[in-house]
Structure 1
Amino acid sequence: MASKEPSTSAPDIDILPHNLQIHPPLVPEQQLPSPNSSEESRNLITANFTHFRDDPFSFLREISLHYSGTGWRAYDEPIGQKIFYKGFSDEMKARVLDSGMLKVKLQELAGRRVIVEDGMGLFSEEKRRRKRLQEVEKQLNEVAEEIVEGMICKFESKRFIRGAYFICVQLLARTYHRGIHVSTLEIQNLRETAKLAAARKQSLIFLPCHRSHIDYVSLQVICYRLGLTLPVVVAGDNLNFPLVGPFLQHAGAMFIRRSFSGDEVYTATVQAYVDALLSGGYNFECFIEGGRSRTGKLLAPKFGILSFILDSILSGRVRDAWIIPVSTQYDKVIETEAYVSELLGIPKVKENLWGFLNSSKFLNLNMGRVDVRFHEPWSLRSFIESQIDKIRAGGTMGVSLAAQQINPGDANLGRKSVDRAAPEVRLKVIRSLGYRVLGDINRVSVVMPTSLIGTILLTLRGRGVGKSELVRRIEWLRTRIRAKGGRVAHFGVAETGTVVERGLEVLGELVGRVDGLAEETFFAVDRFQLSFYRNMVIHLFISETIVAAAMYTRIKQGGGPANQRVEYQTLLDQVSFLSQLFRGEFVFPTEGLITNLDKTLAGLAADNVITVTSNSDSTIGYVELSDVERKCGRENFDFYCFLIWPFIEGSWLAGVAIMGLIPPKGMEEVWVELREAQDMAQLMGKTLYHQGDISYFEAVNKETLKNAFQRFQEEGIITTRKSKSGRAPPLMRVSPDWVANDRLWEFVEKIAISRREGKNRRDNESVSSRVLKLAKKCGRDLFERGGSDSEYQNRAGEAELVNCAPAMRWTATSHIPTHHF
C-alpha cells in the first residue's frame, strides 16, 4: 500500500472507538491553516460499525456497553448544564410558569377581558368584578400550563438517551454508509466555547441550515459523543404524532405551532420557555431557514424564533449566549424525491407513523456521507452591541434618535427604546443577525462530490459527457471553489476518477450511463432532482453568474468580438436589475453594488474569462470575452450562465403569468387567490416547457415562482389583500399603475433579455404572441372561476390591503446585509 503523504490540513477527530481520539497535526502548529480552510475530515460513525449478521458478538457487546453506560456512553458529566434526571421536566415547567413576564402578560389579558365584560354591564359591583378577574387569570394559567406540557422537551432518562443514541447511530450508519464527518479544529473550538459558556451559565445556540430531517439527528449524535449537553431543538408540531412525537420530545424536541395566529397566550408562553432555557444556560437549536430547503440552496432567514432569542437579550432577562452557525451537507438527501413532488405542485403528505415506517426503505441504501461543519462561535450580546453602535453612527433621523437612547452597557440593552420607540432598529438588528448566520453557514459549507457531479452535468452543453471530460471539469470546479474561499469534501488519497465513481454510485438512477461507445458517457436523467445538488454550489459563484447573465444580453447577438462588447454602464444597469430581482433568492456580498461588480470583473479577468478595457481616465470602458475563453469554446462563461438561467427563466415565467392576469378592457376589477395565480404560472410553465418555450423544467418549481411573486409584490407590480380574520387565503391583482404605459411589459422584457436563447425564441420579441395568448387564456379561466363564485367575491370585499410599497434598496452604508449584488 502506498504511504499517505503528510496532510497540510488540520488534525481531525475519530468518534468511533470506545474513547474520543484527537489526531495530532502532521505539520508544525504554526503552519496549520485557519479553521475555515481545513477540508480534511474523519469518519464519525461507520468505520467500526458492525451488522448483526456479520459479527453478532461485537454487535451484542456494543448493545451491552450502551445499556450499562460504560465509559463515555454513561453521559454522566456532559459539558454544560445538567440534564437527563428524574424531575427535569417538572422543574422546567415550573420555571416557565413562574416567569414574571408571562404572569404580567396573563394578568394583562385577563384585565382586558374583564374590561370588555364590564362594558357589557355584566358586573353590578366591584367584588364580582374582582372575582371574575381571578377566574379569568386562573383559566389563562391553565391554558398556559397545557401549552407548556405539550411544548417542552423532557430530558428525563439517561437510559433512554443511551438507547436512542445507539438506535440513531445504527440507522445513520446503514443509510449513510460513509459516515458522518467532522473537523477537529472546529470541534476543539466548540468544546472550548462550551466550557466557557458552562462556567458562565450561558447557552450555545446552534443555528443550522435545514435540508433534511437527518440534520437534527446528526447534530444530537455529535453532541452526545463529544460529551456536550444536548440542545433543545425547535420542531414543528407536525412531527408530534404517536410514538415518534414522544420519542423526539424525550430526545430534545420542543414542539411549536407553525403559526401562532395572533394567540398572545401562546406567544408569551413560547417567550417564557426560551427565556427559561437561555437564562438557565441550556443549549438551544433552531433552523435559521425555518423549514427544510426543497431546492438545495439556502433560504432567506426566518425571524420567528430569532425574535424570541433577541427579545431575551434585549430585555435583560438573559445576559448573553453563543451563536454557532452549522452547515450540514449530504452526498444524497433522503427526501429529494418528495421535494420534487412538492415543487411540482403535488400536495405535501402530512407526517404520520405509516409514512415514517415506510421511509425505512432508505435505511439500507448507500447514500454516501454527511459532513457537519461548525463556524467559530460568537457572542450574541457583542453582536447586538456592535449593530446598535453602527445604527447610532449612521445618523439617520428617527433611527439615530432612538439609538441615542440605547446604552449597550446596560443590562437590558435599552429594550424599551429598541423594541417600542424604535422598531426599525430592532428590525435591522434581527435582519443583520439572520443574514450574518447565513453568510457564516456558507463560509463553512463543504461541497460534496455529488454536488460537483450534478453541477457539471447541468452546466454542459450537449446530451452527455465522457468520463475523462467529466473528471477534467470536476477538477476545474474544485479548483474554482477553493479559489473562491469555498471548501470541498476531502478526497484523501483517492484519485478524482475514483471519487467520481463513488459519487455516481450514490446518485444512482439520477445519472444515466451509456455503455458500448468509444468512451463511457454519462448524462442527466432527472435534471429536476439533480438541480438540488447544483444549488448547493451556486452561492459561491452568484456574483459571477449575475455578471455573465448581464453580458449574455450582448453576446447572444453573435457577430464578431467587437459586436459582443458590453459597455460598462450597460453592464452595470443589467447587473443592478438582476441583483435586485434575486435579492430574495440568494445571499449577496454586502460591500455595495459598484465594489462587488468591480471585484467580480477583476476576478473573471484574472481567470482569463473576460477582458476589461479601461478608458483614458482609468475608468472601465467595456468588457468582453477574452481570446482564451473564445478558444476554449466559452465553456467557463457558459458555466456561470447555466447556473443562473433556471432562476431567470422562473422569474420570467412569473412575469408572463402576471401579464395574463391583466383584466380585459371593460371587465370589472377582479381579485384572484394568490395561490391560484402561482398555480396558474406553474401550469403555464409546464406547458411552455413541453412546447419548447422554456428550457429548464426546474424553472416551474413553486418555490422559485413564490419568490418571484413576492419580489413583484415588493416592487408594487401586484397588490395583495389578506382576510381580516386570517381564515381566507390572500388575494391579488395587477396594480393599475403597472398596466399603464407598458411598464409591466418592459419589466418582463428586461428579465427576458438575459434568458438563454432557444430555437423557439429567436424572434424580435422575447415574449412571443403565442406565449401571451396562452397567458391570457389561463388568466381568463382564472377570472371566470373567481368571478362566478359569490363567496370568493365576498372574501375580496372583507379583505384588507397589505402594505406593498416599493421595497427598500440597501446601499453599501446600510447596517443590514445588502440584498443586491
Structure 2
Amino acid sequence: MTSKAPPPSGGTSPRPSSPPTAPDLSILGDKVALHPAGYTEDPPLPNSAGGATMRERNVIESMARFRSSPFDFLREISLHVSGTGWRSYERIVGQPIFYAGFSERMKDMVLRSTMLRAKVSELAEKRVVVEEEMGLLGYQNGTGAGASSTTANITGKRRASDGVIKEEGNRDKRQKRKREIEASLMEVAGQWTDDMICKMESKRFIRGAYYIATALLTRAYHQGIHVNTEEILRLKTIAEQAEKKKQSIIFLPCHRSHVDYVSLQLICYRLGLALPVVVAGDNLNFPVVGPFLQHAGAMWIRRSFGDDQLYTTLVQAYIDTLLQNGYNFECFVEGGRSRTGKLLSPKFGILNFLLDSLLSGRVEDAIICPVSTQYDKVIEVDSYVSELLGQPKPKENLMDFLSASSILNLKLGRVDVRFHEPWSLRGFIDENMVKMPMQMGNSEEEQKKETRIRLLRTLGYRVLKEINDVSVVMPTALIGTVLLTLRGRGVGKTELIRRVEWLSERVKARGGRVAHFSEFQTATVVERGLEVLGPNLVGTVEGLPEETFYAVDRFKLSFYRNMTIHLFVLQSIVSAAMYMKVKQGGGPEQQRISFHDLREQVYFLSQLFRGEFIFPTEGLDVNLYRTLVGLESDRVIDIARHPENPDQMETISLSAAELESGRENFDFYCFLIWPFIEASWLGAISLIMLAPPAGIPAGKENVVWLENSKVQDRAQLLGKTLYHQGDLSYFEAVNKETLKNAYQRFVEEGILLSSRAALPNGKTVQTIRLSPEWCPQRGVDGVLKPEGKLWAFAELISLSRREGKNRRDGGTVRRRVLGLVETVAEGLWGIGGARVEDGKSVVVGGGVKDGEESASEGAAKRTRRRQIQTRASL
C-alpha cells in the first residue's frame, strides 16, 4: 500500500480516451468476415421499397444441418475430414504438433528431466533412511562374542575383515533398496505423466473436433466469435518470431465460462496458430469428455497438490518441457471461473511454475499474452447463482455436460475475444528485479523468497490489469448496468436508450472499449440486447403508454453489471465516501465534506475492497487526486482549494449541475459499489455470531474454534433474513464469493484468527475465531452490547451504505439486528457441535485442544504478516 505519495503537480489530469480500433474479424462456422470495429450484427440489406431491413444471421448458411440440407451437411464433414484448404492445419505458425508419437515423445522428455530424477533420488534416499531407522532393511549385525587372549590378534583381524564384508553387504542392500524405490517412484511418475499430458496426435481427430466444437458453439452464440484484426495480425507476427526462437506463447485469459478455452482453441485453429496446451482441473476428466479434451490439448492437473513433492515436481517438469521446446501454453490467471462477472484476484499456482522455469534458468524466455473473452450472455449464469446462494457445486459428469444441448437453440449473441500486446516474460523479470529493493537483515534465502512473492504478485496483477484494458463492454453489460443503477422499479424505453448511450460515452472516456453498433441506431442494439438477456432477466410491463422494463432477477443481472465496474471503481469508492455526508440531507453546506474526512473514508473502503477489485498501482493519494479532478471536470463535484496552493483541496461537494440533474451521475457510481459495501457490512455483522454465548465457563470464552465454512453458511442465512426484513438493501450481498472475500480480509486485518483443525474422519478444515480484542462484550443480563471495536468497524462501513427507511431508527435497528444475530448464532453453537465440555474447547466437527491454541494463533499471525507484506491496494 502506497498511501503517502504526493499528488501530481498541475491543476488538471489527462483523461483517458478510447483509441481508434482496427476492424473486427468474425468467425462463424467456415466463414471469416471483416467488419467495422465492434460489429454486432449483419449489415442491413435493401428491401423492396428501397429502404434498409435487418437480416438475422442464419447459422444454416455456414454450418449446415442434416435435416434441412443433408448434402451440404455431408459436404462440410467431408471437407473437414479430408482437410481441404485451411482445414488441413498443415502450415501452422509454431512448433509441430498433431503427429503420431507426439505424446510418447513428450512423456519420454518429461521422465528424462534432470529435476524429476533428482527429486526421485531425494525421495528414495529419505525413504531408505526411514527404513533403516525402523530396522526394515535386514542389515547383518557386527562382530560376535569375545575370544581368548592367545588368539585375540588373529580373531581381531578376522572380525575386522568380516566387518568390512558385512558393511559392504549392508551398503549393497541399501543401494539395491534405493534403486527399487526409485524404480517404483518412476513407475508412478510414468502413470501420472500419462494421465496428465495432452495427447495431440491426430490431425484427422482435430479436424473433426474443430467441426463439432464450431457447430455447437455457433448455434449457441449465433453471432459467432469476434476478434480484432490489428490484434490478430500483431499476434501472428509475434508467433512467427517466437517460432524462429523456439519460444512459447503463454496465453493468460480471464475465466467466466467453459467456452473460454473452446473459443481460443477455435481462433488458433482457424487462423493457423499452433494450439496451446490448456491447463485444466481433473474434475473435467470424466468418461468420454475427458479423453476428447485431452486429445484436443488439455493437460489434467489435480485441484490441490497438497504436500505431494513428486507430483509437484512432475508438473514443473512437464511445464519446463513445454516451454523448452516452444509449445504454446494456456492457463487461467484467476484459477477457477468467476461466478460474479468481474475479474477475480490472481491465483499464483501455475504462475509460480512458469516463473520458476525462467528464474531457475531452465527456460530462456517465453511470451506472455493476456486475453479477454466477453459474452453477450454466459451459459452458466444460472448455475453460478445457485452456487453463490449456498448450493453445493455439483460434481462434473457426462449427463450434465450433455444437458447443455438444451440451450443450443437459444440466441446468446456473440463471443468477443481480445488480445493484449504480447511481451517477454524474461524482460518483465529483469525489469522488476532492478526495481525491487533489498531488505536489510534478511538472509539470502529470505531475499529470494520475498523477491519471488513480489514478482508473482506483480505478474498476476499486471496480467489482470491488461485483460481489463483490452476488454470490450457488450450491449448486455450496458443494459444490465443501467437497469441496476437507476432508482425506481423500472425504466421507460426512451430513458433506457438515453442511459445506454450515456454509459457508452462514460466507458470510452475511462479508456474502455464498447462494442460499437456499426450503422445501427442505439434503439436497435438495445432491442437485440434485451432479446439476448431474455424475459427471465428483464421483464416488460404491458399496457402502458411506453414500453417499460424492469429487472426480473437482479442477482443474475448483476453478473453483467459487474463486467463494467472495473472502469468506475475509483469514482464509486469516492462517491460512496462522500455519501456519508450527502445522505444527511440539508442544503449544500450540510452535504459538503472536508478533504481529510473524504480521504480517511476512501482509505478505509479501498483497504476493505483490496481483495475484491483491481486498483491502479500509483498509490492512494495519486489515485484520489486524479479521480477528484476527473469528477470535477465532468461537473459531478465542486472542489474548494486553498487560495495560496491550488493543489491543496479543502472541501468537496456535489456541483450545482449534478444536483440539478437529480444526482444521476453520482447515484450511478454509488449504485455500482453499494452491493459490495452491503456485503462487507453483512460480513462484519455476522462476526458477532462468533461471540461465545452466555454460559461458557470463565476463561474459556476465547478457546473455541469454529469451522469457517459453517460460519459463512450461517452468515448467508443471516443475510437472507436481514434482506427480507428490510435491513439489507441488496440480495446479492449474500453471495458466497463476496462473503468469502470479506472473511479473508478480516483474517488479514487480524479481526479473525485462522487455523487448521483435523476432523475425526481425517480431513482438515479451516477454523476461525474472533481475536480477543475484537470480541463483543455482554451486559450483566447476558445481552450483547452494540459497542466495542467490532461494532465500530461495522458502523464505519455503514456510513457509506445506501440509506434505507428501516435504518433511520438507530436504537431499534441495533436491537433488532443484534437479536437476529443471536438467533442465527444459536444454530452455529448449538447444532454444529462447537461447545465446551469439561473446560476443553471443541471445534465444529472435530477437536482442537487448549494447548494447541498458541501454536494456531502464532501460525495465523505469521500468515497475516506475509499477506500484509504482499497486499495490493488502491
Q: TM-score, structure 2 length as denominator?
A: 0.86
1:679 aligns with 2:713: yes
Q: CA deviation at 1:42?
A: 9.2
Aligned to 1:721: 755
Is contact 2:39-2:516 (8 Å) kept?
yes
Superposed CA deviations along residues 748-785 of structure 1, whole A, max 9, x for unmatched, are 11111111010110133696211111112222331223
Aligned to 1:33: none
One-letter amino acid of the counterpart of residue 531, structure 1: S
Superposed CA deviations along residues 655-677 of structure 1, whole A, max 9, x for unmatched, are 10101211145523321110011
Aligned to 1:314: 359
Aligned to 1:57: 71
Q: CA deviation at 1:212?
A: 0.3
Aligned to 1:787: 834
Aligned to 1:28: none
Is contact 1:658-1:734 (8 Å) kept?
yes
Aligned to 1:29: none
Q: CA deviation at 1:794?
A: 4.7
Is contact 1:12-1:42 (8 Å) kept?
no
Q: CA deviation at 1:513?
A: 0.5
Look up the SS of the partner of 1:642 in the other structure.
helix
One-letter amino acid of the counterpart of residue 614, structure 1: R
Partner Cα separation in structure 1 for residue 489 and residue 321 of structure 2: 58
Superposed CA deviations along residues 102-153 of structure 1, whole A, max 9, x for unmatched, are 0000100010111111112223122211111111111110111111011000
One-letter amino acid of the counterpart of residue 558, structure 2: S
Is contact 1:660-1:772 (8 Å) kept?
no
Is contact 1:435-1:587 (8 Å) kept?
yes
1:249 to 294, 312, 317: 294
Q: CA deviation at 1:52?
A: 3.7
Q: CA deviation at 1:292?
A: 0.3
Is contact 1:40-1:183 (8 Å) kept?
no
Aligned to 1:195: 240
Which consecutive residues of structure 2, in runs of 5 or more, have no partner in the other structure?
A: 1-18, 43-56, 140-169, 777-786, 837-841
Look up the SS of the partner of 1:733 in the other structure.
strand
Partner Cα separation in structure 1 for residue 529 and residue 86 of structure 2: 34
Q: Where does 1:89-108 land on structure 2 (aligned, <5 Å)? A: 89-108=103-122
Q: Where does 1:448-463 land on structure 2 (aligned, <5 Å)? A: 448-463=474-489
Q: TM-score, structure 1 length as denominator?
A: 0.91
Q: Which runs of 4+ in 1 moved over 4 A?
A: 14-23, 38-47, 788-794, 805-811
One-letter amino acid of the counterpart of residue 599, structure 1: R
Superposed CA deviations along residues 287-317 of structure 1, whole A, max 9, x for unmatched, are 0000000000000000000100111011111
One-letter amino acid of the counterpart of residue 803, structure 1: A
Aligned to 1:561: 588
Comparing 154-163 with 58-67, which one deviates more in the overlay?
58-67
% identical aligned pairs: 59
Partner Cα separation in structure 2 for residue 807 and residue 579 of structure 1: 18
The 1:132–1:718 alpha-carbon spacing in structure 2 relative to 1, beyond 3 Å, is same
Comparing 757-766 with 441-450, which one deviates more in the overlay?
757-766
Aligned to 1:662: 691
Superposed CA RMSD in Å reads 2.3
Q: Where does 1:505-584 land on structure 2 (aligned, <5 Å)? A: 505-508=531-534, 509-584=536-611
The 1:493–1:567 alpha-carbon spacing in structure 2 relative to 1, beyond 3 Å, is same
Partner Cα separation in structure 1 for residue 713 and residue 191 of structure 2: 39
Is contact 2:279-2:331 (8 Å) kept?
yes
Look up the SS of the partner of 2:344 in the other structure.
coil
Is contact 2:486-2:668 (8 Å) kept?
yes
Q: Where does 1:193-592 land on structure 2 (aligned, <5 Å)? A: 193-391=238-436, 394-398=437-441, 421-508=447-534, 509-592=536-619
One-letter amino acid of the counterpart of residue 614, structure 2: V
Q: CA deviation at 1:791?
A: 7.7
Partner Cα separation in structure 2 for residue 364 and residue 21 of structure 1: 23
Is contact 2:438-2:447 (8 Å) kept?
no
Look up the SS of the partner of 2:652 in the other structure.
strand
Partner Cα separation in structure 1 for residue 636 and residue 811 of structure 2: 30
Superposed CA deviations along residues 374-415 of structure 1, whole A, max 9, x for unmatched, are 000000000011110101xx354257x85xxxxxxxxxxxxx
1:643 to 672, 677, 683: 672
Look up the SS of the partner of 2:775 in the other structure.
helix
The 1:434–1:634 alpha-carbon spacing in structure 2 relative to 1, beyond 3 Å, is same
Is contact 1:67-1:163 (8 Å) kept?
yes
The 1:15–1:635 alpha-carbon spacing in structure 2 relative to 1, beyond 3 Å, is closer
Number of paired residues? 779
1:11 to 3, 6, 23: 23
Q: CA deviation at 1:738?
A: 1.6
Partner Cα separation in structure 2 for residue 328 and residue 550 of structure 1: 32
1:168 aligns with 2:199: no
Q: Whose radius of gyration is greater, 1 or 2?
A: 2
Is contact 1:9-1:40 (8 Å) kept?
no
Which consecutive residues of structure 1, in runs of 5 or more, have no partner in the other structure?
A: 1-6, 26-37, 403-416
Is contact 2:102-2:200 (8 Å) kept?
yes
Partner Cα separation in structure 1 for residue 235 and residue 79 of structure 2: 27
Is contact 2:24-2:38 (8 Å) kept?
no
Is contact 2:29-2:215 (8 Å) kept?
no
Superposed CA deviations along residues 141-188 of structure 1, whole A, max 9, x for unmatched, are 011111101100000100000000001110011100111100000001
Aligned to 1:109: 123
Superposed CA deviations along residues 492-547 of structure 1, whole A, max 9, x for unmatched, are 11110000000000100200001210110000000000000000000000000000
Is contact 1:205-1:283 (8 Å) kept?
yes
Comparing 56-65 with 460-469, which one deviates more in the overlay?
56-65
Is contact 1:721-1:796 (8 Å) kept?
no
Aligned to 1:732: 768
Look up the SS of the partner of 1:292 in the other structure.
coil
Is contact 1:810-1:819 (8 Å) kept?
no
One-letter amino acid of the counterpart of residue 753, structure 1: L
1:757 aligns with 2:793: no
Q: Where does 1:681-720 land on structure 2 (aligned, <5 Å)? A: 681-720=715-754
Superposed CA deviations along residues 220-270 of structure 1, whole A, max 9, x for unmatched, are 000000101100000000000000000000000000000011111110100
The 1:792–1:641 alpha-carbon spacing in structure 2 relative to 1, beyond 3 Å, is closer
1:621 to 650, 653, 671: 650
Aligned to 2:873: 820
Is contact 1:457-1:465 (8 Å) kept?
yes
One-letter amino acid of the counterpart of residue 688, structure 2: M
Is contact 1:715-1:804 (8 Å) kept?
no
Aligned to 1:748: 794
